[in-house]
Amino acid sequence: MTTMAIADQVQGLRCRSCGVLQPRDERYVCERCLGAVEPEYDLPSLRASDLRSRIEQGPRTIWRYAPLLPCAEPAQGLQVGWTPLVPAPHLGKAIGVDDLWLKDDSRNPSLSFKDRPVALATARALELGLDTIACASTGNLAGAVAAAAARAGLRAYVFVPETTEASKIAAAAWYGATVVRVRGNYDRVNRLCGSLADDLGWGFVNFTLRPYYAEGSKTLLFEIAEQLGWRLPDHVIVPVGSGALLTRTATALAQLIGTGLVPDAPCRISAAQPAGCAPVTDAVQDGWRAVAAVRSPETIARSLAIGAPADGDASVSVVRRSGGAAASVSDEEIVDACALLALTEGVLVEPAGGVVVATARSLARRDVFGRGERVVLYLTGNGHKGFPLEPELRETIDADPDAFGSAYPEAAR
């Protein structure tokens, strides 16, 4: 399939609020109601056998799914996607899940899943002839934007809350981005970027490029289905910050089934949030009500500390329609879950991953999973970028065998 054929699959941008189909141009909101817009594809024109063959012959990156993406692969880009999907029997036994799998997206170039949506946003920025991309970030997105910009030869500006860990933004600075620290939480940073977006004419990935940016998140479930032999898992557990990852998981589900790439089967989508910032989970557990903003997020999982999620209500709707569930977990549970994952499966994740593991344990205790149900956890960020807590270590010893034996008596067994 040529680049032109790929573009031909996108029929336009459909408003999620009023449903109007509009041209695929520079717009990023509906011209009628200012609602969110997203690409609409001509799925019936894609034959499952031809599509599957093209995908399987494609590169081992997100661009293997080019017929289901709104942009063509740029000439210069990072190798994003095709991250491991691995069984986790030891963790599954520890938390009470029969058939547990890990989608370890911490293996992307900047060590988080944010490389996926940024790859699409960058491709669109290049199509539009922009010279600068920017973002509001709690840390991971800053690194992804900076790395992608460096590879594409673009300028990058990243706006972060002043409390963002230095380890989360150091890489962005090394990639050459201008890091702008802003007083206040993420939602205040977000509002600032919204104010600057139109005035500066930059490609703000989570504003002016959002219809394309968000599409990159679909590729997580595309990969999972392919890695499972073109079958869907029974259940996925997704960390929720803005909600885009969860809502685009639902989009991916619909497109996989709609194109015939996978059999039509249920796949429940559940939301995972920290207790200190759980607007979506609270809405689910309080009778599917509308999402209410959290004014002062307080959680160790800062990458999920978005009090007013852009896709909050849509996330609640997805969880409900799919038959999923939701849980919020304390900081203590998050740290314990990170440690348990590292101990049982040798995977070190940032606190957002601990939120997902702790949520899976909570849902298992509530008997949400059926016997033998295949459950996949989305692990979206790497713990090696700087975990916010130091491990407890024993005292330093002399370089002497007796000193070792005295300090570590359990070793002699």
Kindly report, residue by residue over 275-291, the tens digit of the pLDDT: 999 999 999 999 999 99
Report domain extents, the chain: 85-109+217-385
Tokens 């509009």 correspond to what residue? 22
SS3 of the chain: the string is CCHHHHHHCEEEEEECCCCCEECCCCCCECCCCCCEEEEEECHHHCCHHHHHHHHHHCCCCHHHHHHHCCCCCCCCCCCCCCCCEEECHHHHHHHCCCEEEEEEHHHCCCCECCHHHHHHHHHHHHHCCCCEEEEECCCHHHHHHHHHHHHHCCEEEEEEECCCCHHHHHHHHHCCCEEEEECCCHHHHHHHHHHHHHHHCCEECCCCCHHHHHHHHHHHHHHHHHHCCCCCCCEEEEECCCCHHHHHHHHHHHHHHHCCCCCCCCCEEEEEEECCCCHHHHHHHCCCCCCCCCCCCCCCCHHHCCCCCCCHHHHHHHHHHHCCCEEEECHHHHHHHHHHHHHHHCCCECHHHHHHHHHHHHHHHCCCCCCCCEEEEEECEEHHHCCCCCCCCCCCCCCCHHHHHHHCHHHCC
- More confident position, 17 or 272: 272
Look at residue 3 and tell me whether its pLDDT is greater than 80: no
Q: What CATH number was assigned to the domain covering residues 85-109+217-385?
A: 3.40.50.1100
Look at residue 1 and tell me whether its pLDDT is greater than 60: no
Q: pLDDT of 71-111, one tens digit each?
A: 999 988 999 999 999 999 999 999 999 999 999 999 999 99
Instruction: Kindly report the average pLDDT of the chain as a whole number.
Output: 93
Burial label, 10 (beta-carbon count in 10 A; 0-12, 13-18, 19+)? middle
Look at residue 121 and tell me whether its pLDDT is greater than 80: yes
pLDDT for residue 397: 81
Q: pLDDT of 5-29, one tens digit each?
A: 445 689 999 998 899 999 999 899 9
Look at residue 164 and tell me whether its pLDDT is greater than 90: no
Q: pLDDT of 32-81, one tens digit each?
A: 999 989 999 998 888 889 999 999 999 999 999 999 999 999 988 999 99
Look at residue 259 and tell me whether its pLDDT is greater than 80: yes
pLDDT for residue 2: 39
Look at residue 374 and tell me whether its pLDDT is greater than 90: yes
For 112-131, give one letter per residue: b (16+ CB within 10 A) or e: bbbbbbbbbbbbbbbeeebe
Look at residue 410 and tell me whether its pLDDT is greater than 90: no
Q: In the structure, what pLDDT confidence band is assigned to residue 4 with cuts at 50, 70 and 90?
A: very low
Whole-angstrom Cα distance, residue 226 to residue 228? Answer: 5
Look at residue 205 and tell me whether its pLDDT is greater than 50: yes
pLDDT for residue 394: 81
Q: pLDDT of 212-253, one tens digit each?
A: 999 999 999 999 999 999 999 999 999 999 999 999 999 999
Please count the CA atoms within 13 angstroms of the CA of 171 that sit on its side-chain side. Answer: 21
